Amino acid sequence: MPSILKSLRLVADPTRIRILSLLGQQDLSVAELQEILAMGQSRISSHLAQLKQTQLIEDRRSGKNVIYNLKTQEDDSLSGILALVESAKKELVEIKEDNAALDLTIRKRKDKARAYFDQLAGKFGRQYVPGRSWKALAETLLKLMPPLVFADLGAGEGTFSQLLAQRAKKVIAIDSSEKMVEFGSRVAKENGFKNLEYRLGDIEKPPIDDASVDIAIFSQSLHHSSKPERALQSAFRILKPGGRVVVLDLLKHQFEDARELYADLWLGFSELELSRFLKRSGFVKIDPAIVDREKNSPHFQTLMVIAEKPGA
């Protein structure tokens, strides 16, 4: 039996209490704990190693991963320590956010549909089938979409804005580049889109009235923002109650050359990171998913997150 005093000292740490709280609900890998707690691997591994010394947790190998779980306690003294941990959880404000992140992690594991669509995406378009194309599918979905007011935040030359304008009640395209706004405005005029308006502005402070937009879209633009959470807060401001925000961006990666090649300020975002940004901005019903994986190096992945402004 390990020393009770040593066990008490080890668990008298907020991070280790958070880890024990999570493992008490779900067996988790180091990578999952790292993502939930937003901490580095070495730090998480150090805490886990110390907790193993107390015999409060144990591990097992599953493929390439090591899975940790809370050990069933047969010793009354160690059970008492866990009872103290349970009480200590009430003093940590981080526990609520940890539990929300844990729910997301569990949902990701169970998302069998995502695996199905990954396989489908790899096959779609590989063989010629008359009349089948991504453009045809997009046009079909646009025809089914009700006429809404859209904000395309970080629109660039506005390809997406012009696609939306075919059906939308109004599209407001925001970009910080004067040349992009001039080009987009000219193309919109040439194509006769009277419901498409380009405005020069920053996505962190878009020149759009409060509560005037049904759907706000960041399509591969958020990683160019110095303060992405501020941009999401602005999206919350301009949305009507019940309106939705759609974020399409790169999943967090390590391709440092993107900073020079594409002027990226952020190397993508994790699902939890964006979910936390959205939650702190006031959004609810946050639904993240990986919607594309590139085959060629550096194998970028596209993350889509949809969330709702409450109050409908």
Which has the higher per-residue pLDDT, 303 or 138?
Answer: 303
Residue 210 DSSP symbol: T
> Can you tell me the distance from the alpha carbon of 142 to that of 111, in angstroms, rounded to the nearest whole number?
26
Domain end, chosen from 81, 110, 139, is at 110
pLDDT at 238 over 90: yes
pLDDT at 16 over 70: yes
Same domain, 105 and 140: no
* Mean local confidence (pLDDT), 227-233: 94
Same domain, 56 and 184: no
Task: Tell how strand 57-62 and strand 149-153 pair up.
Answer: unpaired
Residue 75: the pLDDT is 63
Residue 239's pLDDT band, with cuts at 50, 70 and 90, is very high
Same domain, 172 and 237: yes
Which has the higher per-residue pLDDT, 235 or 136?
Answer: 235
Same domain, 67 and 212: no
> Can you tell me the distance from the alpha carbon of 122 to that of 117, in angstroms, rounded to the nearest whole number?
8
Lowest-pLDDT choice from 37-51, 113-127, 156-170, 177-191: 113-127
Residue 126: the pLDDT is 56
pLDDT in tens, 268-306: 999 989 999 999 999 999 999 888 888 889 999 999 999
Same domain, 106 and 143: no
Same domain, 250 and 211: yes
Q: Which amino acid makes up residue 250?
A: L
Give domain status of residue 119, yes or no. Answer: no
Residue 205 DSSP symbol: B
Q: What is the domain count for the chain? A: 2
Nearest-Å Rg of the Cα atoms of the chain is: 24
> Can you tell me the distance from the alpha carbon of 60 to that of 156, in angstroms, rounded to the nearest whole number?
49
Residue 159's pLDDT band, with cuts at 50, 70 and 90, is confident
Domain end, chosen from 49, 77, 110, is at 110
Give domain status of residue 70, yes or no. Answer: yes
Residue 73: the pLDDT is 62
Give domain status of residue 244, yes or no. Answer: yes
Task: Tell how strand 239-250 and strand 213-219 pair up.
Answer: parallel
Same domain, 147 and 101: no
Q: pTM for the full model?
A: 0.66
Same domain, 74 and 145: no
Give domain status of residue 122, yes or no. Answer: no
Lowest-pLDDT choice from 65-69, 138-142, 266-270: 138-142
Residue 203's pLDDT band, with cuts at 50, 70 and 90, is very high
Q: Nearest Cα to 288, choosing from 270, 268, 267, 266?
A: 270
Catalogue the E-assigned strands of the chain. Answer: 28-29, 57-62, 65-70, 149-153, 170-175, 196-200, 213-219, 239-250, 284-293, 301-308
Task: Give the CATH number for residue 270.
Answer: 3.40.50.150
Same domain, 92 and 215: no
Give domain status of residue 193, yes or no. Answer: yes
Residue 113: the pLDDT is 45
Domain end, chosen from 110, 143, 159, is at 110
pLDDT at 130 over 80: no
- Domain residues for the domain of 11 are 4-110
Give domain status of residue 123, yes or no. Answer: no
3-state secondary structure 278-296: HHHCCCEEEEEEEEEECCC
Same domain, 69 and 218: no
Give domain status of residue 117, yes or no. Answer: no
pLDDT in tens, 85-100: 888 888 888 998 999 8
Burial of 186 by CB count in 10 Å (0-12 exposed, 13-18 middle, 19+ buried)?
exposed
CB of 168 closer than 8 Å to CB of 149: yes
Give domain status of residue 118, yes or no. Answer: no
Same domain, 97 and 148: no
Which has the higher per-residue pLDDT, 301 or 60?
Answer: 301
Residue 4: the pLDDT is 66
Q: Which amino acid makes up residue 132?
A: R
Instruction: Report the first-to-last Cα separation within the chain, whole angstroms.
Output: 57
Residue 117's pLDDT band, with cuts at 50, 70 and 90, is very low
CB of 84 closer than 8 Å to CB of 77: no
Task: Give the CATH number for residue 46.
Answer: 1.10.10.10
Same domain, 67 and 37: yes
